[in-house]
Amino acid sequence: MKKLAYAIGAIVLILIVAVIAVPFLIPAERIKTELMIAANDATGRTLSIDGDFGVSVFPVLGLNASKVSFSNAPTSKIANMATIENLTVELNLIPLLSGNVSVDKFILDKPVIVLEVDKNGKKNWEFETATTDTAPEKDTKPSETSGASDLGIRDLNLGDVQIKNGSITYRDEKAGVTHEITEANVSLELLGLDEPFKTSGSALWKGDKIELNTEVGALRAILENKATTADLSVQAPKAALQFNGNVTTLTPLNVSGKTELDVPSLKNLVSWIGDPLEAADGTMENVNIKGKVGAKGNTFSFTEAELTFDKISANGNFVVDIGGAIPSLKGDLDVPVLNIKPYLPNRQTGRNHPKKLPQPQLTKAGMTLPSILAGLNLQI
């Protein structure tokens, strides 16, 4: 028995010595060259590392590289699809022996990513050398027990995981659209698959800072398609969105919770997103919508809804089912007082307002506009 223990100890010692010796036996320059060759073989693009490059194996499996670039599609006017000023990856080796992944560091410093769609609809993130699997497709529908175990890990711990001062440009020449996100900063927090998984980030878009924070009660539950809590917060000067609820399953989709959208000025929001919105003073301003949302399969609901638009308030309940051949919408909307006078066209020209509103027939629904407005206190 002692001989067996000594033999096992000797093997472990040899493995540790071998792991420690790897960086000395294989030069870092050789490893860098192999990485660049592998990237070229897989994508048909050029991976370049023009700055420092270093690797470590024990006790931390690590990689450090600077001035990393990945070439763009041949038809692009921009040389690189992605560049990274500094890349740091450190993986704790010891926990891997028991199936636990512990990421000490994963830092992307100043990544610059360019996503493009050319005039023919070709995307620069689609690679010419990508192979097509002609074998019959397997059923990829997640099972109730799929998840972390399918990844081959028992647990996951994230240390310093960040994206620092990054930027993303999306350019669609076919649609004539360009968007740019700058000063992007993202951090992740996870102490274990059964612990809360938190993300926090911010970025600049069209001159405004957008902050995004999420929290999932347990990442393992999401991976294994089980129930957990989920919170989402989006904060920007021109709009704010909150969601606090539960994810029962992702497949099929079953989500419920409370939400609130607050827009200080609809005019400013629309102008920020696209073209300016013309409206009279004091109109198209505050919008506030809150209530309970739900999604279950093909059915989506918004209940106990409270809506405020300028000086108009309403409440109601809505259910949409998109599962049938023809989508169906059911619900009710209670508007105690509806004053449309501020929204009528040419109200500042001095012309009289029409005495009657157009009354289009809604024959398919069996209703006319007067019947819809019958329960409203309409002020003109």
pLDDT in tens, 351-364: 444 444 444 443 33
Burial class (CB in 10 A: 0-12, 13-18, 19+), 143: exposed
pLDDT for res 308: 95
pLDDT for res 52: 94
Residue 92 contacts residue 59 (beta carbons within 8 Å): yes
Contacts of 168-174 with C-beta under 8 Å, sequence gap 24+, read 168/113, 168/114, 168/115, 169/113, 169/114, 169/115, 170/115, 170/116, 171/114, 171/115, 171/116, 171/117, 172/116, 172/117, 173/116, 173/117, 173/118, 173/119, 174/117, 174/118, 174/119, 174/120, 174/121
Any idea which residue has 């809506």 for tokens? 307
Structure confidence by residue, pLDDT tens digits, 229-258: 999 999 999 999 999 999 999 999 999 999
pLDDT for res 368: 42
Which run of H or of E encompasses 306? Answer: strand 299-309
**Residue ranges of domains in the chain:** 1-125+153-192, 229-331, 336-380
Any idea which residue has 């792991």 for tokens? 19
pTM over 0.85: no
Residue 103 contacts by C-beta under 8 Å, 6 or more apart in sequence? 89, 90, 91, 92, 156, 157, 158, 159, 161
* 63 vs 138, residue with greater confidence: 63
Residue 51 contacts residue 41 (beta carbons within 8 Å): no
Region of 175 (left: φ > 0; alpha: ψ -120 to 50; beta: rest) is alpha
**Would you report the helix, strand and coil content of the chain in percent, each value rounded to 5?**
20, 45, 35
Q: Tell me, what DSSP letter sits at residue 4?
A: H
Using alpha carbons, list the distances in angstroms from residue 212 to 164, 167, 178, 183, 305.
Answer: 15, 16, 22, 13, 24
Residue 104 contacts residue 60 (beta carbons within 8 Å): yes
Q: Which residues pair with 294 in a beta bridge?
A: 256, 301
Average pLDDT estimate for 156-175? 94
% of the chain exceeding 90 in pLDDT: 57
Structure confidence by residue, pLDDT tens digits, 71-98: 999 889 899 999 999 999 998 888 877 7
The SS3 call for residue 275 is: coil
Report the DSSP pairing between strands 328-334 and 312-321: antiparallel
